[in-house]
Structure 1
Amino acid sequence: MSRRPSAAPARATRRTRVPASAVADATAPDDPLRDPALHANRELSQLDFNFRVLAQAQDPAVPLLERLRFLCISCTNLDEFFEIRAATVRHALDFNTPPGPDGLPPAVVLRRIHDRAAELVQAQYRCWNEVLRPALAQAGVRVLARDHWNARQTRWLRAYFRDEIMPVLSPLGLDPAHPFPKILNKSLNIVVVLKGRDAFGRAGHLAIVRAPRSLPRIIQLPPKVSGGEHDFVFLSAVLSAFVDEMFPGMEVKGAYQFRVTRNSELIVDEEEVENLALALRDELVGRGYLRAMRLEIARNCPKPIVRTLLENFELPEEAVYRIDGPVNLNRVIQVYDLVQRPELKYPPFQPRKLAGSDAMFERVREGDVLLHHPFDAFAPVLELVKQAAEDPNVLAIKQTLYRTGKDSAIVEALVQAARNGKDVTAVVELRARFDEEANLGFADRLQEAGVQVVYGVVGYKTHAKMLLVVRREGRQLRRYVHLGTGNYHAGTARAYTDIGLITADPQIGSDVHQVFQQLSGLAPATRLERLLQSPFTLHAGVLARIEREARHARAGRPARLVAKMNALNEPQVVRALYAASQAGVSIDLIVRGACTLRPGVPGVSDNIRVRSIVGRFLEHSRVYWFGNDGDPELFCASADWLERNLLRRVEVCFPILPPELAARVVDEALDNYLADNLNAWELQADGRYRRLAPEADAMPHSAQATLLARLCG
């Protein structure tokens, strides 16, 4: 089991000079640390994360409807995996991209993805069919299969089909005049096998029924009809049951649901376009019809039909996943929202409120404010923007926006600030995956209100989370800053763990101002006093601090580092961690998702421990702690230790300077999670994860539950 750190109490960060060029690459080309056996494959590691999510759905200690939610999350994650990660590997195969640090050619990775994904799909449907569906039924929440409908339910559903569903369907018979239709990404479809002739004398063979997105995927039966208050059926079951009504005079020999998952990665040649927003709008129109990556098909579909679908989607045999249930299983998440049974869900909680948040400028002048979401309310961040929008002494507001959510109060506050005559600049990242359309929409709204909207830097996504308020106070201008590890999104602030800092520190304010100057103008990459920044200093800064710990270890001094993040794959960082372990540095990594480092390899990573925490909230905070021989440095960041974050994005990494706040982050976000023995998984040297459990003499400890009790109790 990963041991709890004996970290010295965090103190204010000492300005230790670390050469920016230090450890540009800690190893030579022939260094044994480049051995592919020491580097796991990122895609396969990311895929394995979903087994840990699925384990929450299988855990009897988790409330029943929350288990259903975890099942749906694992299904949705798998969709996105094929849309992005598997599609990226396929792209690498097409362009003969050489293997990465793991040495696996793209063709091998694709085969392993299929094998592992097939295991996951089987586990998901076993969980649904054998565990959750029966348990839900026993609790009075029934999702009824066709063979369990009684006569009254069947009559009601047939009438519902005729009145509410059939009028919006347009079945398409396949013949020379009606070629195979376009199938939208992840849409529900039925392929129908027909016998006989239609009204024009055309012989029936195959037809496709596409379910429009306007139709609900889960249908709730009225209690007076069904006899149960919470009885549901899948739309796919209703379509299959009554599909014959769409083909009068013909015999339906079979009806099989299917779904195709397509590449969803938008590619815009930013060097060639004059207007990124217009280019993205054009790309979004065709996103739902990009290259097919996966075909999900009913388990009993005949092979000839499967071959026909594969030919039309230009997919190989290994892209087929036969499904023992509804192909759109993730849609059962609607049941979670429709069933109001508090005893089947996690107990509600009220995030801790910040005293003095009704006067944020006065509160921040008293001292820095640390927020640990979702245990601390997101309201102070929103209040800072709202109060800045109305305060006559505020001259300017600058903010980055990556994901904000629908009807964002942050966006509305920026609009109001512009209307009140403030100089408002919003750096909107249009390429935030799957939020591109929403971001285009609120960018238009901001521009209409007079906000200066900037779309970041060509070639570098702006992933930094920064808010800067410039306020006149007497004869001086003071900068107020919010920096965070998560998005300006009130919804995710209640579902994700993140760290936020609100400060009036002059040096941090100056640094943030310079970063905004880079984003909105053509300012050079000037030296920052407090912040580390991608793509300029963060990568080198992390490597240098890892090497500094290694130097301490080689000199016989205490050497330790702890880092928490979503994912780790940057090869130089991995090799630097290996070298530090060999030098004797004690390393604990808390990595939620993909991790390409292999801990516990004799002679290489004996001193490295890696754990993943999966619980009620999505672990999203990034925290780096370096022991530095008793004078520790503590940073929070918007960046994971991934190639893209460290080298190809605009990110910021900020220190927590007040000793009491640094100690709080170490306690809550690091020590607390290293002590977790209920929701923790430990990564083994062979790349597999082992779920931890309390030892015989140990008290059970859940990091998230501890924070809920401590901060929200």
Structure 2
Amino acid sequence: MDDKTPDGDLHAPELYLNRELSQLEFNFRVLAQAKDPAVPLLERLRYLCISCTNLDEFFEIRAATVRTALQFGGPLPPDGIAPARALELIHDKAAGLVAEQYRYWNETLRPELNAAGIRILAHSSWNARQKRWLHKYFRDELLPVLSPLGLDPVHPFPRILNKSLNVVVVLEGKDAFGRKGGMAIVRAPRSLPRIIHLPPEVSGGKHDFVLLSAVLTAFVDDLFTGMKVKGAYQFRVTRNSELFVDEEEVENLASALKDELASRGFRPAVRLEIAEHCPKPIVRTLLQNFGLTENAVYRINGPVNINRVTQVYDLVDRPDLKFPAFKPGPAPLDAEAPFETLRQRDVLLHHPYQSFQSVLDLLAHAAHDPDVLAIKQTLYRTGKDSKIIDHLITAARNGKDVTVVVELRARFDEEANIRLADQLQEAGVQVMYGVVGYKTHAKMMLIVRREGKKLQRYVHLGTGNYHAGTARAYTDIGLMTADPDITADVHDVFQQLSGLAPSIKLRRMMQSPFTLHQGILRRIEREAKNARAGKKGHIIAKMNALNEPTVIRALYEASRAGVRIELIVRGACCLRPGVPGVSENISVRSVVGRFLEHSRVYWFRNGGKPEIFCSSADWMERNLLRRVETCFPIIDERLAARVFDEELANYLADNLQAWELREDGSYARVSPAEGEMPYSAQGSLLAKLCD
């Protein structure tokens, strides 16, 4: 670190961590959960697969973005690392992660699963009976749908679908037409199961599995009768999965996205995974066909699609090898009379510890209540067979005016959301796609009800999606309220989304892209001003990621002024803590546990009159400047104390699943100090809030 930096420019690149490398660090923390012997065995398998799936998405989005910057140029990120150098650093760190994933799989996890009676059988371990059954399975179930393609001037290299399983085969001899052997590609259609459960009467074990990749490589010679297979090597290519739609140039966003989705699987390649023993000439041929260089190849000691093993978690009924089941605690909302409850008091929901059913109950009641006139809702992700959708359709059929803002550009959910929008429109729901150039990421529901001679509004606001599935796996905060200021604010935001309304001044809430960014900066500066005046300045914030440079600089300035800043950032964090004279008053921790930390909570001491907010927004450029987000205060003092205790103080006390970010960008796992009791934030909430 430059000695001049602390007294100089807070724009100095040395003060910022690289976003992509920080994101990769998060996946090392996920992998650490897989390696933790205190975690049940099948949960450790699930964590390994999550780290692999996360890495897929990292290459599809983050690494792809860096490659695009290399190709087309653009401003350097705050860390000052040029795209070419960034790709080299990404490769080095990702290669280390991949090596660690497969080392753990081969040397520890797979043997432990085997000892527990859950066997993922490698080709080398098949006995004669298993091999006969699998060979028959190959001939009966796989061979009829496989179409091997020999590579020659008439048959050029085929199009390879994103993340699909493939085998490159080296052949010797001549086929029926006299063509000399060379190379062939065998593509595994998506219709084929990636993991095969062997019948107990065949294998002798109740939980014996074989990966499709192992079966393909074992019997691939059946596809090339009369020729000799010299080698068969599985591979997988990852492609850029960002969708590029010029919204201002298209007349129909849904139609344009459908066209883009059709080609997503064949966009430019960003990564090649290949069996580690594949000869170098074949690797070079694959790289040439995919337009990649050596810093995009990853040699794999095992199945290239190891994340598919996650299916074993659901196929094996072994509660003793999984986290203990839990039942979310109820929320203090009367499902039969929810509006009466909300007229009396606000209701706070802390998922997954408290049931998401309360949200469904509120919407279901509104759908059937004859006094409810209108329902407005934002939808970003909902999941399959969503009760939310059922209730909205019921409301529309019952004569309510139902308006839904469906975000078609929700990454990897675009196709599902297009189908969802069509389904809602067919039921008579008014569907909107948000605002050109801005994703609608806000989580809000507004219900308008006639009560006597007046109209009363009720609102649900959240930090997470209206998705019952993730509500059992992600931590999120939800607020139900009839507060006139907050409900009026939500009404105004919906009006702004549905029409061409001018900029609005909200009463209690903050909103991206208009007031949230500046609102956060003003509050950080207020803490700095108080500290300079000799008062205590203190900020605690919890979020998924932090990369917005203006906010980071404001936090540096506040730290210099003496403000104590405690950040709980689950994933990528570009702020560098602990720099003398700059960020020595800032600590950053990440908590990785049973549930995915997803809630966003901001607390400011405010001279002894604390403010606490919950939000759909991380402190990222996209959330603060290029999305529609909401940030809402917790006004009720009792509920504000709950949010502070459960989401902030609780996580700052964790010494089992917390990691501290160090100045160099690495993370160190927190452990109980001598004489200190072990404490898990998530474990505490399970015990406190669940039945």
| TM-score using structure 1 length | 0.95
Deviation at 1:363, TM superposition (A): 1.6
State the match for 2:10 in structure 1. Answer: 33
For 1:574, which of 549, 552, 555 is the aligned residue? 552
Contact 1:682 1:689 in 2 (8 A): yes
Deviation at 1:209, TM superposition (A): 0.4
Contact 1:357 1:363 in 2 (8 A): no
State the match for 1:680 in structure 2. Answer: 658
Cα displacement string for residues 499-541 of structure 1 (whole angstroms, at most 9, x for unaligned residues): 0000000110110001001111011111000110000000000
Contact 1:368 1:501 in 2 (8 A): yes
Give SS of 1:612's match: strand
Give SS of 2:336's match: helix
* Alpha-carbon separation, structure 1, partners of 2:416 and 2:162: 18
Deviation at 1:31, TM superposition (A): 5.3
Contact 2:408 2:414 in 1 (8 A): yes
For 1:416, which of 385, 389, 394 is the aligned residue? 394
State the match for 2:4 in structure 1. Answer: none
State the match for 2:644 in structure 1. Answer: 666
Cα displacement string for residues 351-390 of structure 1 (whole angstroms, at most 9, x for unaligned residues): 0112422321112112100000000000011111111111
After the TM superposition, list the runs of 4 or more consecutive aligned residues in structure 1 that deviate by more than 2 angstroms: none
Give SS of 1:55's match: helix
Contact 1:220 1:230 in 2 (8 A): yes
For 1:367, which of 345, 348, 368 is the aligned residue? 345
Q: How many residues align?
A: 685
Contact 1:360 1:380 in 2 (8 A): no
Matched, 1:479 2:457: yes
* Alpha-carbon separation, structure 1, partners of 2:582 and 2:572: 20
For 1:148, which of 125, 132, 139 is the aligned residue? 125
* Alpha-carbon separation, structure 2, partners of 1:457 and 1:78: 31
Deviation at 1:98, TM superposition (A): 2.5
State the match for 1:382 in structure 2. Answer: 360
Matched, 1:606 2:569: no
Matched, 1:244 2:221: yes
Letter in 2 for 1:701: Y
Give SS of 1:164's match: helix
Matched, 1:340 2:317: yes
Contact 1:395 1:423 in 2 (8 A): yes
For 1:328, which of 305, 314, 318 is the aligned residue? 305
For 1:645, which of 592, 602, 623 is the aligned residue? 623
* Alpha-carbon separation, structure 1, partners of 2:322 and 2:362: 33
Give SS of 1:695's match: coil
Give structure 1 stretches of 5+ with no counterpart. Answer: 1-29
Matched, 1:396 2:337: no
State the match for 1:172 in structure 2. Answer: 149
Letter in 1 for 2:625: L
Map 1:52-63 onto structure 2 (within 5 A): 52-63=29-40
Matched, 1:80 2:57: yes
Map 1:144-543 onto structure 2 (within 5 A): 144-355=121-332, 356-543=334-521
* Alpha-carbon separation, structure 2, partners of 1:637 and 1:440: 26
Structure number with higher relative contact order (C-alpha < 8 Å, ≥ 6 residues apart): 1
* Alpha-carbon separation, structure 1, partners of 2:108 and 2:242: 35
* Alpha-carbon separation, structure 2, partners of 1:507 and 1:165: 62
* Alpha-carbon separation, structure 1, partners of 2:664 and 2:292: 32
* The 10-residue stretch of structure 1 (210-219 or 350-359) with the greater mean CA deviation from structure 2: 350-359
Cα displacement string for residues 379-409 of structure 1 (whole angstroms, at most 9, x for unaligned residues): 0111111111111000000000000001111
Give SS of 1:142's match: strand
Matched, 1:89 2:66: yes
Give SS of 2:272's match: strand
State the match for 2:682 in structure 1. Answer: 704
Give SS of 1:480's match: strand
Contact 2:172 2:229 in 1 (8 A): yes
For 1:104, which of 81, 85, 95 is the aligned residue? 81
* Alpha-carbon separation, structure 2, partners of 1:218 and 1:445: 33
Deviation at 1:412, TM superposition (A): 1.1
For 2:19, which of 42, 58, 66 is the aligned residue? 42
Cα displacement string for residues 597-644 of structure 1 (whole angstroms, at most 9, x for unaligned residues): 011111111111100000000000000000001100000000000000
Give SS of 2:249's match: coil
Contact 2:331 2:348 in 1 (8 A): no
Give SS of 2:447's match: strand
Contact 2:221 2:228 in 1 (8 A): yes
Letter in 2 for 1:73: I
Letter in 2 for 1:378: F
Cα displacement string for residues 635-662 of structure 1 (whole angstroms, at most 9, x for unaligned residues): 0000000000000000000000000000
Give SS of 1:547's match: helix
Cα displacement string for residues 57-106 of structure 1 (whole angstroms, at most 9, x for unaligned residues): 00000000000000000000000000000000111111122311111111
Contact 1:221 1:232 in 2 (8 A): yes
Give SS of 1:599's match: coil
Cα displacement string for residues 529-584 of structure 1 (whole angstroms, at most 9, x for unaligned residues): 01100000000000000000001100111110100000000001000000001100
Contact 2:335 2:365 in 1 (8 A): no
Matched, 1:629 2:602: no
State the match for 1:20 in structure 2. Answer: none
* Alpha-carbon separation, structure 1, partners of 2:49 and 2:634: 36
* The 10-residue stretch of structure 1 (493-502 or 408-417) with the greater mean CA deviation from structure 2: 408-417
* The 10-residue stretch of structure 1 (178-187 or 91-100) with the greater mean CA deviation from structure 2: 91-100
Letter in 2 for 1:464: A
Contact 1:374 1:494 in 2 (8 A): yes
Give SS of 1:652's match: strand
Contact 1:98 1:105 in 2 (8 A): no
Contact 1:564 1:591 in 2 (8 A): yes
* Alpha-carbon separation, structure 1, partners of 2:373 and 2:603: 36
Letter in 1 for 2:598: H
State the match for 2:90 in structure 1. Answer: 113
Q: Percent identity?
A: 73
Give SS of 2:10's match: helix
* Alpha-carbon separation, structure 2, partners of 1:500 and 1:100: 34
* Alpha-carbon separation, structure 2, partners of 1:305 and 1:42: 33
Give structure 2 stretches of 5+ with no counterpart. Answer: 1-6
Give SS of 1:70's match: helix
Matched, 1:130 2:126: no
* Alpha-carbon separation, structure 1, partners of 2:338 and 2:182: 69
